[in-house]
Structure 1
Amino acid sequence: MKSFIISLIIACILVSNVFGAVGGKRVLIIVDDLSMVKSHSQFFSTLEGKGYKIEYHSAGDKVELEKYGDFFYDHLILFAPTSDSLSITSSDVLKFIDGGNNVFIAASNGVISDTVRDIATECGIEIEDDKTSVFDHFNYDKQQSEQNLIVADQYIQDAPIILQGLQTPVLFKGVGHSIRQNPLNYAVLTGSSTAYSRKASGVATKLMGKKVGLVSSLQARNNARVTFAGSIDMFSNKFFTSKLGKDTVGNREFAESLLSWTLQERGILRSSNLSIKKISTESNSTVAPEILTIKDEIEYSITVEEFVKDQWVPYVGQLELEIIMLDPYIRTFIKGNKDGEYKSIIKLPDVYGVFTFEATIQKPGYGNLDTFVRQPIRPFRHDSYERFIPSAFPYYAACFSMIVGVFVFSIVFLFHQEPKKAL
């Protein structure tokens, strides 16, 4: 019994460490009205089935995200786009994101609160005006008379890990937005070439075509993830069970893939087993093996793993390595093997100083990996240099010829006697 308890404690510690590194399990859900918990129950059940600890609150409840720098939640789902009575402010949410936590926001084509607008703006997303909808007269649900219930299938292609290759179209009814040209922002779902944004008064805006953002995300530099969807209805039970003729829509699969990526269930990298080993000491044999000197040959190795389905697996890709002292002296790319090991043999520069060995992976949809270590590179010792350098043979010859010349001159000068002159 005692051994069982000890094993259970160790397992809990390991599980907590894994989830602590990949976002945690505490989720705060804020809705306009608690009746939304029932109308969107299938969406929320995906979280409950994965063991997340969910806490529901209506928009009017007093909620704190952190106190004295300690966050009470790991993820925030904000399904309260119209309420101005939120107890949390945009600065609270931005501080929550700066702390490395994740946020999932859904809006509607009605009145959008200033809090939601401010959060979206800070994340590089510009939402259209209130009471603005996305229309598409060619790609909409033909079973409905409303042409703002559009059928969208323009998914992101540059970062397939976000939606895991989803192809089934989804139903969307909501407000559009535009995103900034920023490598941190991803247009996850956009309108087709015939889509446009229009106000309730019938006046079309300047946002049209594939520039109409429907769902967008932000991968922050601290690996926090923020997702903004312009439709709260696309995550409802009604849309999950809707059909386009005889075909089902992909709202459920879309929501599950998008939510799991936002909550850092995949696309997270970590490194381990960093090693810098000197493999050549012929030129400076008097220096200890652990000390790096100029022009040494070294083997740089590191292991990279990816978080997939609640476990760490080897990540096979490409890693960029830079050896920097103010400016990069060496920049190279290393390919990993099937075990996630990245190895390369590098010759150090003929410059001494304190260098930074920085390994980075920046791949769309993945968390940023930046592993660095500082290592001094020393010059040769006075007794480590080569005794005779072939390129200096002319100087050696000049030196020895001068010595021989002085020696001969000295002999001649000392022992040469001038002949006596006759009187």
Structure 2
Amino acid sequence: MFKISLCLFLVSVPFSAILCAAFSEERPTDRRVLVLLDDFAIKSSHSIFFKSLETRGFDLDFKLADDPKLALQRYGQYLYDAVVLFAPSIDRFGGSVDAASLLQFVDSGHDLILAADASASDLIRELAVECGVDFDEDPAAMVIDHTNHAVSETEGHHTLIASDDFINSEVILGSRKIEAPVLFKGIGHSINPSSNLVLKVLSASPAAYSANPKSKLSSLPTLIGSAISLVSVVQARNNARILISGSLSVFSDRFFRSGVQKAGSTTKHEKCGNEQFFVELSKWVFHERGHLKAVNVKHNKVGETDEPSMYRIKDDLDYSVEVYEWSGSSWEPYVAGDMQVQFYMMSPYVLKTLSTNEKGLYYTSFKVPDVYGVFQFKVEYQRLGYTTLSLSKQIPVRPFRHNEYERFIPAALPYYGASFSMMSGFFVFTLVYLYTK
């Protein structure tokens, strides 16, 4: 079910490659985005969302999903940095694009926004499953909520939901609180609760369920309550990001401009939270927020500046790294108090929390353990909403040379005493033996 967790990330990124990329990139990703549509009418009906991307500097290339000239790469190089898939009913992509090539696109570290609806095809459902999300198997099912639906004169099945159950994460949804509920009309999905790669960012209420609104319930629905996710995100171990929505209409201009009043509430919002929610969420998906890079990783003996080729046991050393976060326009110092470094050989011999000067520099000092072998400096930093930092550098540790040992060890005084007492006793025994009768 969750093949993306198996196929994306078994290859570890070399330390040198991470450093090279961190120094060379001016921004986390380029701005080329392929937008695949069922119909070009979606370009105008969802223009506010597309306009927000273009305003932020993204270059959108609109194409029909079944375009026979469709291609993601040419001469082994990807033509785009992200794909927006607004074609829920497509059965087969055009050109050289298929489900496998889209998954390979994500495997290569690129981003994806996928929107489905009640007409979602098997192809779209298959893509969602590969990303760790299961849509309701009933093709006629929609999310229904008789308690937290939006007040509407035309919607009688209570499938137009006003949801405000957002993920509690500023890095994903921004620092400005979303005051109004999000309007949602579409299909629900479930995620694997044991996976830490898939996150629910918009959930249904405990009173919601997924069923065919035009027929009576004959059995208990498979998806009920808060287990239903309306919008989810995936952050892969290679830091590719995916947004999966069970509704295409939530991105539409009609929903973006609509007011909302939740059933049972007297508060009527002149504008629902859809625009703020999806604009802020798209910033996270396209790495405009929550993207970290590490530069200037250094280690050296205390009092020195050059990096040695090896350390000796019991040496005192300094370790430092600079960490920055992309703010959408520039790299800003990342400030946290929970970053740690391991001095590792089979298991951590030293685990130290890095201090910070709150200007991006993290540093610590420690003594090399009294064990020789090939060690690693390792930083594995994983926090909700942030890209993963994985740094490692091998360094050998040697024992003392023969001329580096202490000439007198106070702890060995009993052995010294035993040796001299034995020699003294032998000398006295010899004198007594030779010169007495």
Query: What TM-score does the superposition give when structure 2 sets the normalisation length?
Result: 0.85
Residues 17 and 391 of structure 1: is their aligned pair in 2 closer, same or farther, counting only changes over 3 Å?
Answer: closer
Which stretch shows the higher mean deviation, 199-208 or 367-376? Answer: 199-208
Kindly indicate whether the alpha-carbon contact (under 8 Å) linking 1:324 and 1:330 is maintained by their aligned counterparts in 2.
Answer: yes
Distance 2:240 2:110 in 1: 5
2:424 corresponds in structure 1 to 404
Give the CA deviation at 1:382: 1.0
Give the CA deviation at 1:403: 2.6
Residues 202 and 322 of structure 1: is their aligned pair in 2 closer, same or farther, counting only changes over 3 Å?
Answer: farther
Distance 2:436 2:270 in 1: 122
Give the CA deviation at 1:334: 2.3
1:207 corresponds in structure 2 to 223
Give the CA deviation at 1:80: 0.3
Distance 2:83 2:77 in 1: 15
> What does 1:228-247 correspond to in 2, within 5 Å?
228-244=244-260, 245-247=268-270
Which stretch shows the higher mean deviation, 405-414 or 71-80? Answer: 405-414
Kindly indicate whether the alpha-carbon contact (under 8 Å) linking 1:191 and 1:212 is maintained by their aligned counterparts in 2.
Answer: yes
- Which of 279, 298, 315 is the matching residue for 1:296? 315
Residues 136 and 278 of structure 1: is their aligned pair in 2 closer, same or farther, counting only changes over 3 Å?
Answer: same
2:16 corresponds in structure 1 to none
Give the CA deviation at 1:34: 0.6
Question: CA-to-partner distance for each residue in 1:279-313, whole Å, 9 max, x for gaps?
Answer: 289xxxxxx97641112222221111111122111
When the two chains are superposed, the root-mean-square deviation of aligned CA atoms in Å is: 2.2
How many residue pairs are counted as aligned between the two chains?
A: 394
**1:186 is paired with a residue of what secondary structure?**
strand
Whether 1:324 aligns to 2:335 is no
Kindly indicate whether the alpha-carbon contact (under 8 Å) linking 2:309 and 2:395 is maintained by their aligned counterparts in 1.
Answer: no
Distance 1:151 1:267 in 2: 28
1:184 corresponds in structure 2 to 197
Kindly indicate whether the alpha-carbon contact (under 8 Å) linking 1:278 and 1:290 is maintained by their aligned counterparts in 2.
Answer: no
Distance 1:301 1:412 in 2: 68
Residues 145 and 335 of structure 1: is their aligned pair in 2 closer, same or farther, counting only changes over 3 Å?
Answer: farther
Residues 248 and 16 of structure 1: is their aligned pair in 2 closer, same or farther, counting only changes over 3 Å?
Answer: farther
Distance 2:61 2:251 in 1: 18
- Which of 274, 278, 297 is the matching residue for 2:297? 274
Whether 1:164 aligns to 2:187 is no
Kindly indicate whether the alpha-carbon contact (under 8 Å) linking 2:352 and 2:364 is maintained by their aligned counterparts in 1.
Answer: no
- Which of 296, 299, 313 is the matching residue for 2:332? 313
Kindly indicate whether the alpha-carbon contact (under 8 Å) linking 1:190 and 1:214 is maintained by their aligned counterparts in 2.
Answer: yes
Residues 202 and 97 of structure 1: is their aligned pair in 2 closer, same or farther, counting only changes over 3 Å?
Answer: farther
Residues 382 and 103 of structure 1: is their aligned pair in 2 closer, same or farther, counting only changes over 3 Å?
Answer: same
2:283 corresponds in structure 1 to 260
1:354 corresponds in structure 2 to 374
1:421 corresponds in structure 2 to none
Residues 335 and 136 of structure 1: is their aligned pair in 2 closer, same or farther, counting only changes over 3 Å?
Answer: farther
Residues 83 and 294 of structure 1: is their aligned pair in 2 closer, same or farther, counting only changes over 3 Å?
Answer: same
Which stretch shows the higher mean deviation, 46-55 or 234-243? Answer: 46-55
Give the CA deviation at 1:413: 5.7
Kindly indicate whether the alpha-carbon contact (under 8 Å) linking 1:277 and 1:290 is maintained by their aligned counterparts in 2.
Answer: no
Kindly indicate whether the alpha-carbon contact (under 8 Å) linking 2:90 and 2:124 is maintained by their aligned counterparts in 1.
Answer: no
- Which of 151, 159, 174 is the matching residue for 1:148? 159
1:7 corresponds in structure 2 to none
Residues 174 and 251 of structure 1: is their aligned pair in 2 closer, same or farther, counting only changes over 3 Å?
Answer: same
Question: CA-to-partner distance for each residue in 1:92-131, whole Å, 9 max, x for gaps?
Answer: 111000000000011112x212221111111110011312
Kindly indicate whether the alpha-carbon contact (under 8 Å) linking 1:103 and 1:227 is maintained by their aligned counterparts in 2.
Answer: yes
Residues 246 and 403 of structure 1: is their aligned pair in 2 closer, same or farther, counting only changes over 3 Å?
Answer: closer
1:363 corresponds in structure 2 to 383
Kindly indicate whether the alpha-carbon contact (under 8 Å) linking 1:334 and 1:342 is maintained by their aligned counterparts in 2.
Answer: yes
Query: What TM-score does the superposition give when structure 1 sets the normalisation length?
Result: 0.88
Whether 1:219 aligns to 2:235 is yes
Kindly indicate whether the alpha-carbon contact (under 8 Å) linking 1:278 and 1:298 is maintained by their aligned counterparts in 2.
Answer: yes
Residues 290 and 96 of structure 1: is their aligned pair in 2 closer, same or farther, counting only changes over 3 Å?
Answer: closer
Kindly indicate whether the alpha-carbon contact (under 8 Å) linking 2:92 and 2:98 is maintained by their aligned counterparts in 1.
Answer: no
Kindly indicate whether the alpha-carbon contact (under 8 Å) linking 1:280 and 1:296 is maintained by their aligned counterparts in 2.
Answer: no
Give the CA deviation at 1:340: 1.8
Distance 2:431 2:279 in 1: 99
1:3 corresponds in structure 2 to none
Kindly indicate whether the alpha-carbon contact (under 8 Å) linking 1:83 and 1:113 is maintained by their aligned counterparts in 2.
Answer: yes
Which stretch shows the higher mean deviation, 365-374 or 203-212? Answer: 203-212
Kindly indicate whether the alpha-carbon contact (under 8 Å) linking 2:173 and 2:281 is maintained by their aligned counterparts in 1.
Answer: yes
Letter in 2 for 1:295: K
Residues 179 and 344 of structure 1: is their aligned pair in 2 closer, same or farther, counting only changes over 3 Å?
Answer: same
The structure with the largest alpha-carbon Rg is: 1
Question: CA-to-partner distance for each residue in 1:198-240, whole Å, 9 max, x for gaps?
Answer: 1243436221111111000100000000110111001101011
- Which of 373, 392, 400 is the matching residue for 2:393? 373
What percent of counterpart residues are identical?
A: 40
**1:30 is paired with a residue of what secondary structure?**
strand
Question: CA-to-partner distance for each residue in 1:171-224, whole Å, 9 max, x for gaps?
Answer: 001100001121111101001111111124343622111111100010000000
1:116 corresponds in structure 2 to 124
2:9 corresponds in structure 1 to none
Distance 2:412 2:190 in 1: 67
Give the CA deviation at 1:342: 1.3
Distance 1:259 1:15 in 2: 25
Whether 1:66 aligns to 2:66 is no
Residues 188 and 343 of structure 1: is their aligned pair in 2 closer, same or farther, counting only changes over 3 Å?
Answer: same
Distance 2:334 2:357 in 1: 9
Where relative contact order (Cα < 8 A, 6+ residues apart) is larger, the structure is: 2
Which structure's residues are more often strand, by fraction? 1
Letter in 1 for 2:129: T
